[in-house]
Structure 1
Amino acid sequence: MFRNYVKIAWRNLFRNKGFSLTNLLGLTIGITCAILILLWVKDEVNYDKSQKNYSEVYKVMGHRNFNNTIFTDEAMVLPLAASLEQQIPQVKHAVVTTFRQPYILTNGEAKLKKDGYTVSEHFFDVFSYKFIRGNAINAIREPASIVLTESAAKALFGDADPINKTVKVDNERDAKVTAVVADVPGNSSIQFDCIMPFNYADESLKRSMANWQNSSWQVYLQTLPGAGIAAIEKKINEIKVLHDPGDKKITSYFAFPMSKWRLYSDFKDGKNVGGMIEYVRLFTIIAIIILLIACINFMNLSTARSEKRAKEVGIRKTLGSEKKQLVIQFFFESIILALISFVFSILAVYLLLPAFNTLVEKQLFLDFTQPQFWLAAFAIIVFTGVVAGSYPAIYLSSFSPIKVLKGTFNPGKNAVLPRHFLIVGQFVISILLISATIIVYQQINLVKNRATGYNPNNLISIPGSPETQKNYTVIKNELLQTGLISSVTRTMSPITEIYWKSPAPDWTGKPANLNLIFTGLTTDNDFTKTMGIKVLQGKDFSGAAVDSSSVLLNAAAVQAMNIKDPVGMQIRNGNKEFTVIGVVNNIVMESPFTPVDPMMAFYNPDNSNWISMRLNRDVQPQQALTAIETVFKKYNPAVPFEYRFVDKEFQRKFLTEDLISKLANIFALLAIFICCIGLAGLASFTIIKRLREIGVRKVLGATIQQLLLLISKEFLKLVAIAFIIAVPLTWWCMHNWLLKYDYRVNISIWVFAIVGILMLLLTMAVVGLNTISAAMRNPVKSLKAD
């Protein structure tokens, strides 16, 4: 029986080649999109799952409340980890690390800039990595040791064994290679090329170990199985307040599980508001929707050609076939078509994966050796086949054999109405997707075009070193003498990042209960000139010795402090008095999606290690870079030359949004294309059924335009209904999405008007091509048609 079902299904698919090819194309595109999306989703949901202690590792974080504005911080004090491990029995290990930072690694002529962490002793007990050489027990036991990833070791030592060989770090100290680990998977939160241990004998580190206020490190916990997190969090807060009583009113500490680091990383006002999980859900829904659109095509086309299958069903029933057998037969046809489509989809995915990986910046691949792949393949084929074949199987198997064989069978509205519902559903989805992508594009553009407070064009930033600090004056002079550079300055951080946050300074008249968070920046003279920052009041630093007690405030700071005339006022930051010499425009240094924080800029060249320079107008960047590299290699030969264009760094803040927008655009267009395939097939079947009518109308003098309107109006009505349903649905979805942004576009009715006109034109084009082809036929042949 099974063999018979397969044979008949195969013959039917080949007998109706146009029908089969139309569905095959739609299903192949749909399944291909679904596989690509699901590969991306799988990579996201499996973030950090390569870690052996995945369910037991937490990051210590804090909700810091400044004047009822809460921001969530992962910067902790250095001694916290040791205290947690000693005083909380449920904590198996506590680890403190620096934030990821670049290091210059040198071995002979090989000189690399690699990212890494300095960590405490239990790092490799908490976090698991595959050791290729060496072992986790001895890897970071000695202060002067270093662990390299496989690719970093190969870049430094080639094919030689690196164990016990020496690497110079930052041209200052030697470190012995004690272990080599496999490269960190791309879907890991902690990415590094090298790991080094803290040297607790260092005097500055000893001072930091006694400092319970300077939050500049990250702290991780590994708990015992079944440990109560609420009790651990309570103890963390008690330990911190014990050593820093003033922190009690400001910060609430909590343990954030590794399972949420990637997907639930966003916080607002002290509450977790999601993160990448929103996009994972969104694209999972899109994958299902695209598959459903392809399945709807199959349903529509199957029911549209129902008259051709009616006699077959009638004869089978008179010969004794039961309805159940006919249903199974029709399901077999759809599943076989889904299977063929899946095979073509795998080939398409294989060809598209390199480009898709470049787009999403991942290393996705199809792993045919995994049982999960075959389970997923089976699920996709069965889901597609069953969903696509469900309505046709039930509908076609219900025909009355007496009516069919007598020639009195007429499907009428029973066939047309469900088909209309399905078409409307397709167009609702298409209108929603294309409208949503336009609104997303508008939102991203709005923030991209937000005033940054500085001029990012023709601005280059270069990380400094002890040598550039020592030779800064001569480097600056030689750069200016090239005639390619108009201005040079140096700052603590690049203009696109913030390295320092602290409580607000004190000033006369400051409210006693006022808690504000300020960002901080140290800089040199020519700061505003080089960055293109507008000075609103007062002046910039001149580079004189007196400037060491001067400070600039931004407009947000003046507003938050509620000061009318800030220039000349005295403020106290730490143990030092400063004079406000100027007020500058607000500068967008962190997220462009949020308001600018109050900022203080201090004159402190010794603590300003990023060199920024502005190119003269009309200077070719490559020409300028060649000259700049020559100067830096002359005075900083031990460090590889590295630079950043500030405008490109600013654009990097939109990587996630740009990626989501591109993916949404691609899949929305493919969904619409699948709709058009189905619409074309349906229009073709409709026209074939009305060939004689078209022939009669032509004989009676009907024009092509009249025939086009006659055939199109049915489909245009369906588009109009879909538009009426889709507009409020889209507005509701996108309005809720936009609420997450402080700066957001207003949803314009013109977006929907443009999309509606576009869909009408698209429908006219698809239906019109089929109608014109039929209308151009000789009416005599049409009237003779069977």
Structure 2
Amino acid sequence: MFKNYLKIAWRNLLNNKGYSLINIGGLALGMAVTLIIGLWVQDELSYNSYFPQKDKIAQIFQSQTFNGNTGTGPAIPRPLEKGLRDGYGDNFKYLIMASWTNDSYLKYGEKSLSRPGNYMQREAPELFNLKIIKGEKDGLREINSIMLSESTATALFGNEDPIGKVVKVSNEFDLSVSAVYSDIPFNNAFSDTEFIIPWEKYLATREWVRNAEDSWGNNSFQMFVQVTDNTSIAKVTATIKDVKKNLSEDAAEFNPQLFLFPMEDWHLRSNFENGKQVGGRIKYVWLFGIIGAFVLLLACINFMNLSTARSEKRSKEVGIRKSIGSSKGQLINQFLSESFLVVVLAYIIALLLVLVCLNGFNELARKEIAFPWQSGSFWMISVAFIIFTALLAGSYPALYLSSFKPVDVLKGTFKAGRYAGLPRKILVVVQFTVSVAFIIGTVIVMQQINYAKNRPVGYDKEGLIQIPTFSQDFVGKTDLMRSEFIGSGAVVEMSTSSSPTTQIWSNRSGFVWEGKPEGFQEDLAWTEVSPEYARSLGLKIIEGRDFSRDFATDSLGVLINETAKKYLGMENPVGQLLKDDSDEDPNPPLKIIGVVEDMIAQSPYEPVKQAMYVYDRNDNGSYYNLRLNPKQSASQNLAIVERVFKEHFAAIPFEYQFVDDQYGEKFASEERIGTLSGIFTALAILISCLGLFGLTSFVAEQRTKEIGVRKVLGATVFNVWNMLSKDFIKLVVISCFIAVPIAYYVMNGWLQEYPYRVILKWWIFVLAMLGAMGVTVVTVSFQAIKAAKQNPVKSLRTE
């Protein structure tokens, strides 16, 4: 029986090639979009799946309150380790201190590489379940050892066995390779950790780390934990919540609240607002999941509309089948079989489309999604997906067509009824409501990105590069290198800084100044710079003066930004002192010598943070900031800069970053979302237009004789076009008026997440409405004009 159903379904498809093409093509597009979104969602939800104990792994976070505003982050003080081990150690299977992930230079023989890595405590390989390829898992046991990822070991040693080989790190010290571990896959935390060095080496080589042993105010470290099997992350959080306040009276001032941030939330729920977890990338998972569902719905609506629109064509077939004994159930099965065949064909085409587009999608979305050919669960889900789509697309047409009365049909008295077309009209309205809402959403997303992009950054990004200086070789050579770079003619100014231009790596508090409000808890971004910092970046001095090497007292000078001036409550800040309020061994007071224009160093969607730029007395910056000569090409300048660099640092790889590229990265996530939304919106509109094209074609075919009569009686092409088009245009207008308030509500809520945001303008909604109507007119007009130009003699000829 089922075989016969499929035969009949196949013949119907062949006999109506145009409608079949629209049905299958529309469904294939919708299913391809849903498939590719499904793969993206699955990749997002499976983040950190490399770690089998991820439900037990967490990072220690803390919330601190400054003047009523609570900030949350992973930075913790070093003495917290001892406090947790001594008082709460029974709650943890592993407790690991770690540095931040930073680049270091790794040298073996003549080969030198720059790779990101961490200093970690001994049990880190166990905690993170590193898969050891060579060497031993306890590879951090010896202080002078290093563990390398497989790709880094291959890059350094080629086919040589790396175990026992000596690697020089940042030209500082030699370490012996104790183990090689498999690269952590892309969609996991620590995928960029290319090496691990023992924590003890960090203590031995960094005096400031040793000095932080009892410093509760120095939040410069990370801590990762795995809770024991007999407890949970939530229970341990409740236990240690106030431990920092209990162990340190000084820390209690900022009401620190410790908690364990689960690994399962690191990727998708990493945003905090005023101490509360408020989501994160999970909103994009929901967004694209909803888009995928709606795009599939649009494709199914096309199938429903075209199937029910052709009801009169199938009515005689239904009448004859019923008259010779076919039951309603058999007819429903027949029409569902047709739906199933269409969906299967569409799914095959959809798979081909996904395979063709997957590499481009990965590049656009910055993913490494592989098609899951060998996944049994994927194929089971695919079968369920096909059945669900077939039922969704075919159930209404099957029930509608199988309900015809054979007597009426065979007598020729069957009429579709006054309201028979109402469901189709409703479905068209749904289609275009979704499409218009997508258009408005995409336009607003791109507007928000451009709004932030056009925001004044406070410095000149063009022609500015930064070179990382993560080696002791650079210490004390700033003046020499500045002289060399400028003398080469490729650079017009150079400075150093302790943070990259586009980030803030350090924050400070604990200052006293004249007029400081009682109980005020300051939080200032802190960057140590060489005297030429403002000139190299093009920062504008709006009060006072810049640093000068001619004044020895400038070694205790400080520049503040405009926001800091307001934040500190200083009307005339130049000349005022910022004193250290520490009772033990206070630092010398800093004197404000100037105020600089605000520069964006963090998110361009956030207000500029209050910042201070302090004279780097130790000549120990993390970056060289080079202003390239604008009179020469960038490639020419870079070639000269590299030559000069290699003359002084031959063992260190030459690496640089254009600051405007680094700044552009701040928009990367939103731009990807905007671009993908734009593509999906275009496909949604295309699918809707395919359905509209098919419906218009069918209506024109149904009214062929009517059009012929009208033309004989003097109707013009415009009259006929107007007759066929006006109903569809009315439906799209209704869609627009439904879509606008929905889109406004959703997008206005989305924009509230950004303190620095675009204001919704009325013309965005008008433009989207006009665009939808324009697309509708073009789609409908093709068939309408074609029908209007047809020779009435042919249309009125009897059968």
> How do residues 765-784 of structure 1 correspond to structure 2 at under 5 angstroms?
765-784=778-797
The letter for the 2-side match of 1:176 is: S
**Secondary structure in 2 matching 1:76:** coil
Note if 1:269 corresponds to 2:269.
no
How much is the aligned-residue C-alpha RMSD, in angstroms? 1.5
Note if 1:96 corresponds to 2:97.
yes
State the distance in 1 between where 2:740 and 2:295 align: 20
The answer to whether the 8 Å contact 1:148/1:193 transfers is yes
The answer to whether the 8 Å contact 1:163/1:177 transfers is yes
Aligned-pair CA distance for 1:104? 0.7
Aligned-pair CA distance for 1:689? 0.3
Aligned-pair CA distance for 1:491? 0.9
Instruction: Give the aligned partner of residue 236 of structure 1.
Output: 240
> How do residues 537-686 of structure 1 correspond to structure 2 at under 5 angstroms?
537-543=543-549, 544-573=551-580, 575-605=587-617, 606-686=619-699
Note if 1:528 corresponds to 2:541.
no
Aligned-pair CA distance for 1:207? 2.7
Residue 511 (structure 2) aligned to one of 468, 488, 505? 505
Residue 714 (structure 2) aligned to one of 701, 713, 732? 701
State the distance in 2 between where 1:785 and 1:499 align: 84
Aligned-pair CA distance for 1:237? 4.1
Question: Structure 1 pair 234/545, CA: closer, same or farther in 2 (3 Å)?
Answer: farther
Instruction: Give the aligned partner of residue 168 of structure 1.
Output: 168
Aligned-pair CA distance for 1:121? 1.3
State the distance in 2 between where 1:161 and 1:736 align: 57
1:564-592 deviation line (CA, Å, top 9, x unaligned) = 11111111145221111011111110111
Instruction: Give the aligned partner of residue 214 of structure 2.
Output: 210
> How do residues 25-36 of structure 1 correspond to structure 2 at under 5 angstroms?
25-36=25-36
Instruction: Give the aligned partner of residue 502 of structure 2.
Output: 496
Aligned-pair CA distance for 1:736? 0.5
State the distance in 1 between where 2:294 and 2:658 align: 40
1:28-49 deviation line (CA, Å, top 9, x unaligned) = 1111111111111111111112
The answer to whether the 8 Å contact 2:490/2:641 transfers is no
State the distance in 2 between where 1:702 and 1:225 align: 83
> How do residues 158-557 of structure 1 correspond to structure 2 at under 5 angstroms?
158-191=158-191, 192-199=193-200, 202=204, 204=207, 205-250=209-254, 251-464=256-469, 465-503=471-509, 505-543=511-549, 544-557=551-564
The answer to whether the 8 Å contact 1:82/1:94 transfers is no
Instruction: Give the aligned partner of residue 736 of structure 2.
Output: 723
Unpaired runs of 5+ residues, structure 1, are none
The answer to whether the 8 Å contact 1:554/1:600 transfers is yes
Aligned-pair CA distance for 1:238? 4.2
The letter for the 1-side match of 2:304 is: M
Instruction: Give the aligned partner of residue 583 of structure 2.
Output: none
The answer to whether the 8 Å contact 2:58/2:233 transfers is no
Question: Structure 1 pair 226/698, CA: closer, same or farther in 2 (3 Å)?
Answer: farther
The answer to whether the 8 Å contact 1:103/1:113 transfers is yes
The letter for the 2-side match of 1:576 is: P
**Secondary structure in 2 matching 1:253:** strand
The answer to whether the 8 Å contact 1:538/1:567 transfers is yes
Residue 760 (structure 2) aligned to one of 747, 769, 782? 747
**Secondary structure in 2 matching 1:383:** helix
The answer to whether the 8 Å contact 1:468/1:475 transfers is no
1:245-278 deviation line (CA, Å, top 9, x unaligned) = 1212312111111111100011111111111000
State the distance in 2 between where 1:85 and 1:675 align: 62
State the distance in 1 between where 2:117 and 2:686 align: 46
Instruction: Give the aligned partner of residue 724 of structure 2.
Output: 711
1:67-108 deviation line (CA, Å, top 9, x unaligned) = 112111211112323432342212111111111100111111
Aligned-pair CA distance for 1:225? 2.4
The answer to whether the 8 Å contact 2:528/2:614 transfers is yes
Question: Structure 1 pair 282/551, CA: closer, same or farther in 2 (3 Å)?
Answer: same
State the distance in 2 between where 1:299 and 1:504 align: 69
**Secondary structure in 2 matching 1:398:** coil
1:357-415 deviation line (CA, Å, top 9, x unaligned) = 11111111112211111122112211211111011011111111111100011113342
State the distance in 2 between where 1:470 and 1:502 align: 25
Aligned-pair CA distance for 1:321? 1.0
**Secondary structure in 1 matching 2:460:** coil
The answer to whether the 8 Å contact 2:22/2:691 transfers is yes
State the distance in 1 between where 2:34 and 2:723 align: 37
1:160-186 deviation line (CA, Å, top 9, x unaligned) = 221121211111211111111111111
1:438-481 deviation line (CA, Å, top 9, x unaligned) = 00111111111111111111111111233333332222122222
Between stretches 498-507 and 194-203, larger displacement belongs to 194-203
Aligned-pair CA distance for 1:208? 2.8
Aligned-pair CA distance for 1:228? 4.6
The letter for the 1-side match of 2:218 is: N
1:212-239 deviation line (CA, Å, top 9, x unaligned) = 3211111111111241545523443444
> How do residues 44-55 of structure 1 correspond to structure 2 at under 5 angstroms?
44-55=44-55
1:676-716 deviation line (CA, Å, top 9, x unaligned) = 11110110001000111111111122111121111110001
State the distance in 2 between where 1:548 and 1:79 align: 31
State the distance in 2 between where 1:134 and 1:679 align: 65
> How do residues 97-116 of structure 1 correspond to structure 2 at under 5 angstroms?
97-116=98-117
The letter for the 1-side match of 2:569 is: N
- Could you state the TM-score of these two structures normalised by the residue count of structure 2? 0.96
Aligned-pair CA distance for 1:241? 2.5
The answer to whether the 8 Å contact 1:118/1:196 transfers is yes
State the distance in 1 between where 2:708 and 2:408 align: 28
The answer to whether the 8 Å contact 1:469/1:609 transfers is no
Instruction: Give the aligned partner of residue 155 of structure 1.
Output: 155
State the distance in 1 between where 2:199 and 2:763 align: 59
State the distance in 1 between where 2:510 and 2:600 align: 19
Instruction: Give the aligned partner of residue 738 of structure 1.
Output: 751
State the distance in 1 between where 2:703 and 2:436 align: 29
Aligned-pair CA distance for 1:619? 2.6
1:295-322 deviation line (CA, Å, top 9, x unaligned) = 0000000011111110111111111111
Between stretches 475-484 and 235-244, larger displacement belongs to 235-244
The answer to whether the 8 Å contact 2:243/2:258 transfers is no
State the distance in 1 between where 2:737 and 2:764 align: 14
The answer to whether the 8 Å contact 1:105/1:112 transfers is yes
The answer to whether the 8 Å contact 1:80/1:219 transfers is no
Question: Structure 1 pair 169/484, CA: closer, same or farther in 2 (3 Å)?
Answer: closer
State the distance in 2 between where 1:272 and 1:239 align: 21
1:746-765 deviation line (CA, Å, top 9, x unaligned) = 11110111111111111111
State the distance in 2 between where 1:688 and 1:725 align: 30
The letter for the 1-side match of 2:249 is: P
Between stretches 274-283 and 444-453, larger displacement belongs to 444-453
**Secondary structure in 2 matching 1:444:** helix
1:540-579 deviation line (CA, Å, top 9, x unaligned) = 1012432111111111111111111111111114522111
The answer to whether the 8 Å contact 1:314/1:402 transfers is yes
State the distance in 2 between where 1:283 and 1:230 align: 30
Between stretches 566-575 and 106-115, larger displacement belongs to 566-575
1:334-361 deviation line (CA, Å, top 9, x unaligned) = 1111111111111111111111111111
1:508-535 deviation line (CA, Å, top 9, x unaligned) = 2212211121100111112211111111
State the distance in 1 between where 2:144 and 2:5 align: 72
Question: Structure 1 pair 305/226, CA: closer, same or farther in 2 (3 Å)?
Answer: farther
**Secondary structure in 2 matching 1:83:** helix
- Could you state the TM-score of these two structures normalised by the residue count of structure 1? 0.98
Question: Structure 1 pair 128/413, CA: closer, same or farther in 2 (3 Å)?
Answer: farther
The answer to whether the 8 Å contact 2:97/2:199 transfers is no
**Secondary structure in 2 matching 1:701:** coil
